[in-house]
């Protein structure tokens, strides 16, 4: 049985359409599992279908999916191509989702290799295929190494050490069963270490998200009651007139995007319709969208009019937002001030005057603090960035979870080690480590056994 492979087959760039290609026996069923739309296992060959790619219940992107069945395809295997919107984030996430649903990331040149091995490509092209594998894998290797910085690989190396320690201790119990001075690794100990590992892997996943933020920008929404100065705040930040600023409530209906750079990190600004109870149909759509955007956003700028007492709507918003990613902006401080910074102790808060362009730099400073941007730069932050790495971390977590399930089902230690060894190998894959006798070396270095 051959693996089903997946890869992004267009170069990544904002704006263009990206294609994620999947090839192999399970290509159609794997894509179908993450696709909302028609049942792809029942469609005709060489047809295109509209729908969404989802990760669990979360929609990732609106896509067109091309289903091509064996043998009339490039590789002669079943192929599915997912045409998506081209952003790095969504394309990577689609790939990631496929990798966690049973596809394997294609090696360099692997689609072409399969095409050749399956007799699809002319023999005279064999050399070209070999050239391709060589040059691409070389590039891939360099890229993979370049993508991982010291901090992340140290982190992974530490996790591996932990598993290595645990495995070597279990293995020594197994291969040298009658060494009474050597501590017998109890199930409780394995459980404890596994639980720690899961926590740390979760942390790593979170870091991966931060990594995405840095690479792909901080998704920022500006919210607030109508006419508190959201658009002017946006404009002050953008320093250009992209949104229409008026004194009439409800003039901003469309979501306006723009981008500014703080410490080299992009802040992707999304202006929203003012949130208020409205019967205006067009505006209602805008309001609903704003609320859903709040959940999605990495940063919320909640704008309040510092000249007015808090309204019920303001209070609702203050309750609704996630404090960890919200900055309260007290705007229009040229008028009498009713709201003071001291009143918002629980929140990150700044005061601005957007008309006079005051307070903008302290807002930027606040954002820097919130995202630790200065620190990130100091650390020359790189992160788990590729879909492959993220998928491997997820798989590792799954393997450790399997080990825990085994423990909870009272399985003997030899079964538990299968999952732990798998986790160890997966982490090795992330950092390009594949030395197979490591655990044994560790065992002999740390335990005194012998005749």
Partner 1 sequence: MKYEVIVVGGGHAGCEASLAAARKKHKTLLVTGNIKNIADMPCNPSIGGPAKGVVVREIDALGGEMGRNADKGALQMKMLNTKKGPAVQALRAQEDKIIYPKEMLKTLKGQKNLDIKESLVEDLIVENNKIVGVVLEDGTKIFCDAVILTTGTYLKSSILRGDTKVSEGPHGERPSKFLSDTLRNLGFTILRLKTGTPPRIEKSSIDFSKTSKEEGDEIPHTFSYENKVYYDVDVQEPCHLIYTKEETHKIINENLEKSSMYGGYVEGVGPRYCPSIEDKVVRFKDKERHQLFLEPESKYYNDIYIQGFSTSMPIDVQEKMVHSLPGLENAKILKYAYAIEYDAIDARQLKQSLETKLIENLFTAGQINGTSGYEEAAGQGLIAGINASLKLEEKEPLILKRNESYIGVLIDDLVTKGVKDPYRLLTSRAEYRLLLRHDNADLRLREYGYQVGLISEETYQDFLKKKENIKTLKEILQTEKITPKKEVNEYLKKIPTAELKDGMTLYSLLKRPEIKIEHIKHFIEIPYDEDVCYQIEIACRYEGYIEKAEKEAEKMNSLENKKLADNLDYEKIPNLASEAKEKLMKIRPTSLGQASRISGVNPADISILMVYLRKRETNE
Chain positions contacting partner 1, by CB under 8 A:
1, 3, 107-110, 113, 116-117, 123, 126-127, 129-131, 133-134, 137-138, 171, 173-181, 409-415, 418, 435, 439-440, 443-444, 448-451
Helices 413-430 and 187-216, axial angle in degrees (round to 10): 20
Q: Residue 21 corresponds to which tokens in the numbers above? A: 């290609």
Q: How far is the CB of 133 from partner 1 (least distance, A)?
A: 5
Give me the torsion for CA of 351, 357, 310, 328, rounded to 10°: -50
Contact 202, 397 (CB under 8 A): yes
Q: How far is the CB of 414 from partner 1 (least distance, A)?
A: 3
Give me the torsion for CA of 390, 394, 400, 406, rounded to 10°: -160
Contact 297, 219 (CB under 8 A): yes
Q: How far is the CB of 180 from partner 1 (least distance, A)?
A: 6
The residue among 310 and 411 lying less far from partner 1, judged by its C-beta, is 411
All residues at 6 or more sequence positions from 237 whose CB lies less than 8 Å from its CB, including other chains: 258, 260, 267, 269, 360, 363, 364
The residue among 105 and 294 lying less far from partner 1, judged by its C-beta, is 105
The residue among 29 and 210 lying less far from partner 1, judged by its C-beta, is 29
CA distance 105 to 387: 9
The residue among 134 and 202 lying less far from partner 1, judged by its C-beta, is 134
Q: How far is the CB of 436 from partner 1 (least distance, A)?
A: 8
The residue among 131 and 316 lying less far from partner 1, judged by its C-beta, is 131
Q: How far is the CB of 205 from partner 1 (least distance, A)?
A: 24
Per-residue b or e along 388-414, where b marks 16 or more CB atoms closer than 10 Å to that residue's CB: bbbbbbbbbbbbbbbbbebbeeeeebe
The residue among 173 and 313 lying less far from partner 1, judged by its C-beta, is 173
- The phi and psi torsions of 59 (rounded to 5 degrees) equal -75, 130
The residue among 378 and 434 lying less far from partner 1, judged by its C-beta, is 434
Q: Centre a 10 Å sphere on the Cβ of residue 32 and count the other Cβ atoms it contains.
A: 20
Q: How far is the CB of 156 from partner 1 (least distance, A)?
A: 20
The residue among 173 and 251 lying less far from partner 1, judged by its C-beta, is 173
Q: How far is the CB of 158 from partner 1 (least distance, A)?
A: 22
Q: How far is the CB of 341 from partner 1 (least distance, A)?
A: 58
CA distance 3 to 306: 60
Name the burial class of residue 336, with classes exposed (0-12), middle (13-18) and buried (19+) by CB atoms within 10 angstroms of its CB.
exposed
* DSSP reduced 3-state for 48: strand
CA distance 8 to 312: 48
């Amino acid at each position: 049985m051959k693996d089903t492979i997946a890869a992004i087959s267009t170069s990544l760039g904002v704006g263009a359409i990206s294609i994620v290609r999947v090839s192999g026996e399970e290509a159609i069923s794997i894509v179908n599992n993450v696709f909302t739309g028609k049942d792809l296992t029942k469609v005709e060959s060489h047809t295109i279908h509209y729908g969404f790619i989802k990760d669990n219940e979360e929609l990732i992107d609106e896509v067109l999916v091309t289903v091509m069945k064996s043998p009339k395809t490039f590789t002669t295997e079943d192929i599915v191509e997912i045409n998506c919107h081209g952003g790095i984030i969504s394309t990577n996430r689609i790939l990631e989702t496929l990798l966690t649903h049973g596809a394997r990331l294609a090696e360099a040149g692997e689609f072409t290799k399969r095409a050749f091995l399956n007799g699809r490509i002319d023999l005279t092209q064999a050399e070209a295929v070999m050239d391709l594998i060589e040059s691409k894998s070389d590039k891939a290797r360099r890229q993979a190494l370049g993508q991982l910085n010291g901090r992340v690989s140290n982190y992974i190396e530490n996790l591996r050490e932990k598993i290595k320690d645990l495995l070597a201790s279990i293995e020594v119990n197994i291969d040298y069963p009658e060494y009474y001075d050597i501590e017998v690794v109890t199930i409780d100990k394995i459980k404890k270490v596994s639980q720690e590992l899961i926590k740390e892997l979760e942390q790593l996943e979170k870091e991966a998200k931060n990594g995405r933020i840095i690479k792909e920008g901080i998704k920022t929404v500006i919210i607030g009651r109508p006419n508190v100065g959201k658009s002017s705040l946006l404009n002050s930040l953008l320093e250009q007139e992209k949104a229409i600023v008026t004194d009439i409530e409800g003039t901003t209906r469309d979501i306006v995007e723009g981008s500014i750079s703080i410490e080299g990190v992009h802040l992707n600004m999304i202006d929203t319709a003012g949130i208020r109870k409205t019967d205006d149909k067009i505006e209602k759509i805008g309001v609903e969208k704003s609320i859903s955007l709040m959940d999605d956003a990495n940063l919320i700028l909640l704008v309040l009019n510092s000249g007015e007492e808090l309204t019920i709507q303001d209070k609702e918003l203050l309750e609704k937002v996630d404090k960890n990613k919200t900055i309260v902006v007290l705007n229009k401080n040229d008028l009498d001030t009713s709201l003071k910074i001291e009143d918002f102790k629980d929140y990150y808060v700044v005061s601005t005057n957007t008309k006079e362009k005051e307070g903008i730099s302290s807002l930027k400073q606040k954002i820097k603090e919130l995202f630790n941007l200065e620190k990130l730069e100091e650390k020359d932050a790189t992160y788990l960035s590729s879909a492959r790495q993220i998928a491997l971390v997820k798989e590792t977590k799954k393997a450790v979870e399997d080990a825990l399930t085994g423990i909870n089902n009272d399985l003997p230690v030899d079964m538990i080690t299968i999952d732990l060894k798998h986790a160890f190998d997966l982490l090795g894959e992330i950092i390009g480590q594949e030395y197979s006798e490591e655990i044994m070396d560790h065992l002999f270095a740390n335990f005194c056994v012998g005749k």
